Structure 1
Amino acid sequence: MATHDHDRHDHDHDRPDSIPVQHGSAPAGPGDVPSRAPGPVRDDHELIAAVPYITRYHPQQSLVVAVLREDRIHAVLRADLTGEPAGPGTGTGTGTGTGTGTGTAYLAGLADALTDQCVTFGMPMVMLLGYGPIELVRAAVVTVGQALRAAGLRIGRIIRVGDATADVLDEHGNPVRTFTIDPQRRPAWAAGPDQDRVVYASRDAVAALVAPVVGDDRVDMDAATAAAWSDLVTLRARFAQSARAADGGEALQAELRSAGDTAVWGARYDTARGAGLYDDDVAWLALLLAEDVVVDDALPGCDGSAAEIALWQDVTRRAEPALAAPAACLLALNAWFAGHDALAIAALDRAQHEAPGNALARLVRASQQLGLDRKAVRAMLSGG
């Protein structure tokens, strides 16, 4: 088995590593916090149709827990189910991804993580949906289902979702009814501004949105980054003597902060008017974002707008990979504000891959996982 994504998450148990759980929330505009989906989930067909609409991609080899408030989806938790099915007596097995396996230890940890998250929502009703072979799904829904019931949660429905058909399962993971999936079905509440919401083919397709550029684009950015490094060395050399003399580097830090503010402002201005950034601009901006104060000064401008997402996605992809984490964090924050949880998670994964100890990435991920009010966080950052 592999990771979980979510929109709240992990802790430890007797398992290989902490198990990440992806949260997804119902459609929302920038800064809004959807406490529930815009409309009710009326039947199994609509439940299946709603999940990818909320997560923004079609789950594969996954276990999904839909948390309901009354008859509306409040949040979606998703966890990977990849690898060989876990059978009786199977050990931790082997798997791919972050701290994952295919046996009872992993499933026990998965059950604990998902149950903890569901309990924090304070809502008694959940639905379980498994994506993948019946053997794989059965092991997961039985283990997780037992943990959820033990915690006092009621499971309204257990469904295994296949390519063309779906099975309603009993608590032991055995099919009791099969029905055909309508691939064109959309939630009845998918209308208005959300009717054109993009649903990606897979989680990998979302991850590709923040992947580093390659080929000629990478070659061009490498050259631009080398030039930017030369400029930065020259800038630091200019202030080296004064730093040694008296001010402890304060003049240099002030200059870097000023240069960073100018670079961020210029990038935002150009992006907002539809102009792309030159390679030199991206390289210089990425270098300056290595200064914490430049990132701090950029935070108040994060508003979840399409322009903000486009800017930081562009910088995340084009920056030297080792320098991409700050831009990825700014992208994650904006995506979260916009209700695009899958993109936010992908950006955080990229940030923590490039810089495992990045404090802003940990903070943004914790805010998302704890279900903090996006609108309140955004107002706090902007001083509103």
Structure 2
Amino acid sequence: MCRQILAQIQQPSLEAELDEVLLPDEPVLMRLGWRNVRSARMRIVRLDAQRAAQWAQWQRGTQDERDQAIAWLEELPATRTAEWPLDGWQDWRQHATEVAIEPLPAGKYLLLVQAAHAWGPQQATFVQEVQVSAIAWVKWRHPYQRDELYVLHRKHGYPLSDARLEVWSAKWQQRKWSRQQLEHTLNPDKYGAIAMPELDRRSKRYTFRFIRGADTLETTYSGLMWDQEWGRTATATRQALILLDRPIYRPGQLVHFKIIALERTPDNRPRILPDEEVQVTLQDANWQEVGTLHLRTNEYGSAAGFFVLPEGKLTGMWALHTDLGDSRQSFPVEAYKRPRFETSLEAPAAAFRLGDEVRLTGTARAYAGYPITGAQVVW
């Protein structure tokens, strides 16, 4: 057991944090974290289509195949290399710093960071796929029409009307994915907007490639988080905000409340509901109905009322429930007593041993400021 704990303490670790997409021809900072490592080496390898396919195949394989991929990366010619000495490698603690990476041209790369004193596939290793591109995209969900993509410059934000989007798809056949095929080629308008066609999400896997000259940005369907909800109906949702006058109540007290009736439009904008009838129900800790009020909102969409908490009921989390959007607000009901005074004891001036007689001095004072007299002290 002790050997296992010692091995965990002495285990080297190395990690790095870098944006998945970087701007071309601009330096960038990378966060580097380590423990029990004297120095770290970095290799950045450019990925062409063949290397990217080989890397993806190894990533889906076994641990031995992934170790083989690390050795394969070490043999490829590197676009950038660096080595950094690291401090605090003998204190068994986690450390972190930021290191600079030289500018990279547009393309797709693999970042490999390893402990220099343990250069090998079984040692502390970090690998990340990085894209360098000036292309960026944003999605706008239209409430009534098809969603749109906007292709923009990653640094300056202006639309890239001269870019194009290639939609590649692979189909699940015979327990494996088929080779990707080009399904659509789409061009943005002068505002950089692209209206997406309908996609078969159930049986196909999609890859989106934004291309502008020699610059390419690639993302998967899951990375795009695209919702193909063509022909969405314009539906609105209703809800009630329930405000209470206290955070906690005692049995027998009044629960004053105020509700604000709202309706959210399909584009997620709130709108008040004046002259709306709302039913408010008081529920106990067992979700049993205790009382009901029927209210009507005023011109500002609000209404107010109160309930009397009955005594003799089970304490716990009670709730107010409305029939407007099934809104609900919980609150605790406890038989607590509000403190009226406080006591304090002075620290003893000397040390005592077992069996000694100890005399303590203290005070009892009401929160209003006056001292408490004639009170019985029990210890």
Larger helix fraction of residues? 1
Bigger strand share: 2
Greater relative CO (CA pairs within 8 A, separation 6+)? 1
